[in-house]
């Protein structure tokens, strides 16, 4: 096989590999809050299995249009209000054990996002998205988290804004907990809203694949 054919072969192999690394479907249940079913945050955090796929809200509810804010899509959204601590939060636990082979090979990445809004009239409400990783269905098995995807809102109730985060998933992860939150002080007594939440798991190229991509480029340039 000559250098040019080798470069084409490597490129084709990598394209095929990239095609297999497309994102999965949204793993969250009721991601747009269209079903008015939720529980307390403590229930979700203390019983992943029993409350899997159910939103656990610290302070707030699922609501339709209210105080000048319309859902980003559908007819409902999550309303969050000050719980008189540092942050008001909402959680959902997701069983990801079906991705064990990918995760334990060290090639899995989580991608999470949500849309945020407030009832307006001020600027700077601070919101965030976070994903925590667990090796079993109990909170004490925490392996780490994704870091925070944060956002300072613009104060325009007609403008939904996105916060997102991506991170490598630790080996041995079998459960993840998706979290959206508002810093209470930043809400200044107002209401924060969330809609169109999203979480997926996808494969990322192994270092060897990236090295092959570089090699293919070098071979192609030498041939030309």
Strands, E assignment, the chain? 38-40, 55-57, 60-63, 77-80, 87-95, 108-118, 126-134, 142-145, 149-152, 161-168, 175-183, 192-203
Asked whether residue 118 is assigned to any structural domain, the reply reads: yes
Report pLDDT for 122.
Answer: 78
Asked whether residue 13 is assigned to any structural domain, the reply reads: no
Asked whether residue 6 is assigned to any structural domain, the reply reads: no
Report pLDDT for 123.
Answer: 86
Report pLDDT for 120.
Answer: 79
In our burial notation (b when 16+ CB lie closer than 10 A, e otherwise), range 138-155 reads ebeeebebbeebebebeb
Smallest Cα–Cα separation from 173: which of 119, 101, 117, 223? Answer: 101
Asked whether residue 60 is assigned to any structural domain, the reply reads: yes
Report pLDDT for 115.
Answer: 98
Report pLDDT for 5.
Answer: 53
pTM over cut 0.85 = no
Distances (CA, A) of 33 to 6, 132, 137, 172, 182: 51, 21, 24, 30, 17
Asked whether residue 124 is assigned to any structural domain, the reply reads: yes
Report pLDDT for 207.
Answer: 58
Residue 52 belongs to domain with CATH number: 2.60.120.260
Asked whether residue 175 is assigned to any structural domain, the reply reads: yes
**How many angstroms separate the CA atoms of 161 and 131, rounded?**
19
**How many angstroms separate the CA atoms of 124 and 41, rounded?**
25
The number of folded domains in the chain is 1
- Low-confidence stretches of the chain (pLDDT beneath 70): 1-23, 206-224
Report pLDDT for 62.
Answer: 98
Asked whether residue 219 is assigned to any structural domain, the reply reads: no
Asked whether residue 213 is assigned to any structural domain, the reply reads: no
Which structural domain range is residue 188 located in? 22-204
């Amino acid at each position: 096989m000559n250098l040019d054919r080798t470069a084409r072969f490597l490129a084709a192999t990598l394209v095929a590999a990239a095609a297999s690394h497309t994102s999965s479907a949204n793993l969250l249940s009721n991601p747009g809050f269209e079903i008015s079913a939720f529980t307390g945050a403590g229930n979700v955090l203390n019983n992943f299995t029993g409350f899997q796929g159910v939103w656990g809200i610290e302070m707030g509810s699922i609501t339709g249009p209210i105080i000048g804010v319309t859902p980003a899509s559908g007819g409902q959204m999550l309303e969050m209000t000050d719980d008189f601590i540092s942050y008001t939060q909402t959680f959902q636990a997701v069983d990801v054990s079906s991705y064990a082979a990918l995760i334990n090979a060290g090639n899995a990445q989580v991608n999470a996002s949500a849309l945020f809004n407030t009832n307006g009239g001020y600027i700077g409400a601070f919101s965030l998205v976070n994903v925590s990783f667990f090796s079993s269905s109990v909170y004490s098995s925490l392996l780490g988290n994704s870091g925070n995807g944060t956002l300072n809102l613009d104060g325009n109730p007609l403008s939904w804004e996105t916060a997102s985060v991506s991170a490598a998933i630790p080996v041995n992860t079998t459960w993840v907990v998706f979290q959206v939150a508002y810093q209470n002080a930043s809400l200044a007594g107002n209401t924060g809203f969330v809609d169109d939440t999203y979480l997926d798991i996808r494969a990322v190229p192994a270092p060897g694949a990236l090295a092959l991509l570089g090699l293919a480029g070098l071979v192609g340039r030498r041939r030309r």
